[in-house]
Amino acid sequence: MRSGAAPFALLAAALAAGAAAGWAQEGAGPGEEGPRPVRLAYRFQRLAGRTATYSIEHEQRVLQRVQGRRADDKGGGEVVSWARQTTEQAFEASGEGAAGRVDVTPRRVEARVEGGGATARYDSATAGPQSAPDAFSTLAARVGKTVSLDVTALGEVTGVRGVKATERAAYLRTFVALPDRPLALGRGWERLEREPMAPFGTIAFLFRYALAEVTPGQDGAPDRYRVEATIRARLEDTVQGGTTQVELTSQDGRGRLVLDADGLLLESEIESHLELTIRSAAGEQVQRVRSRTLQRLLEVRPTKP
């Protein structure tokens, strides 16, 4: 069951990252022009010297149904995985224009996997990374290890240090990619991203963001911006003429995020649903993935007391 669910875990992870990652494309969401357009940006000169602690919680449910060529050849089941990661982000201005440096340090990972009538649990506060379930071994191995990111004012990660070259791609989506122009209320931007799904082809995700609400800051606090997001996906470059056919039979995703005027992420939430059907000479597989990711700001403190 683990190998069958692997492609879907990749897709769900990409969907979950969609509301809080990527680089912006030109585009606009529905709505009317507001009186005061705002420019979203990471203002590292203001964030410098502060460390933000986040809770990032992700739950994924993978339901698999297998139908063989014989009427009695049926199988499948549901696998539920849950993880909560406590992570620190320390901000510094780079001294080169508006760019900055962010040191990312995971402090704790809690995880649970249920499937096949068994449950596996893990908590890095009480066990070493060698005890983590396979699905979370990479997260567990990163606890306590700092990775430094070079980030532009629009959220593009231009440098990754402190991690193997093969793992750097995962950090390119750490920040929400912001548009390069001011936005009026109700307007937005788009992002198109492609993910390989070997051996079946490529899945393309279209993320649409829209500025939904502006809340003025109180008592000297910065303004807050709420952004709504929707996600659509399609399969591309699928193998034709072979014995295996893959079809994306159902998909939807949406979420929200709240930033302040300095670019500090206050909270984000994304929910997604995906159904993929794989037909081959051996029979038919249908897998349904539902995932939810919630990121919350726990505290902000001076990096150096």
pLDDT at position 6 over 50:
no
- Number of domains within the chain: 1
> Which residue in the block uniquely carries the two structure tokens 């500090």?
264
Element holding 94 (H helix, E strand): none
Taking residues 26-39, report their average pLDDT: 57
Element holding 20 (H helix, E strand): none
Q: How far apart are CA 44 and CA 46, in angstroms?
A: 5
pLDDT at position 16 over 60:
no
Peptide bond into 199 cis (omega under 30): yes
- Going by pLDDT thresholds of 50, 70 and 90, the confidence category of residue 76 is low
- Going by pLDDT thresholds of 50, 70 and 90, the confidence category of residue 201 is confident
Domain encompassing residue 90: 2-302
Q: How far apart are CA 178 and CA 191, in angstroms?
A: 10
Name the E strands within 94-244.
100-115, 118-123, 147-151, 157-161, 188-197, 201-215, 224-236
Report the range out of 74-78, 103-107, 214-218, 240-244 with the highest average pLDDT.
Answer: 103-107
CATH code at position 114? 2.30.230
Q: How far apart are CA 16 and CA 81, in angstroms?
A: 14
pLDDT at position 7 over 80:
no
In this structure, which long-range contacts are made by residues 114-121, counting pairs with CB atoms below 8 Å and at least 24 apart in sequence?
114/79, 114/80, 114/81, 115/1, 115/77, 115/78, 115/79, 115/80, 116/1, 116/77, 116/79
Query: What is the per-residue pLDDT across 124-168, written as a single tens digit (0 to 9) for each?
Result: 999 998 888 888 888 899 999 999 999 999 999 999 999 999 889
In sequence order, the β-bridge partners of residue 295 are 56, 268
In the 3-class helix/strand/coil scheme, how is 169-185 assigned residue by residue? HHHHHCCCCCCCCCECC
Whether pTM exceeds 0.85? no
pLDDT at position 34 over 60:
no
Higher-pLDDT residue of 239 and 175 is 175
Predicted local confidence at residue 237, as pLDDT? 73
Token pair of 51 as six digits: 């460390």
Q: What is the mean pLDDT of the chain?
A: 83
Rounded (5°) CA angle 105-230-15 = 45
Query: What is the per-residue pLDDT across 240-281, written as a single tens digit (0 to 9) for each?
Result: 556 778 888 889 999 999 999 999 999 999 999 989 888 887
pLDDT at position 20 over 80:
no
Predicted local confidence at residue 294, as pLDDT? 97
Predicted local confidence at residue 27, as pLDDT? 38
CB 297 within 8 A of CB 289: no
Distant-in-sequence, close-in-space partners of 77: CB < 8 Å, separation ≥ 6:
1, 63, 64, 115, 116
Q: How far apart are CA 65 and CA 194, in angstroms?
A: 26
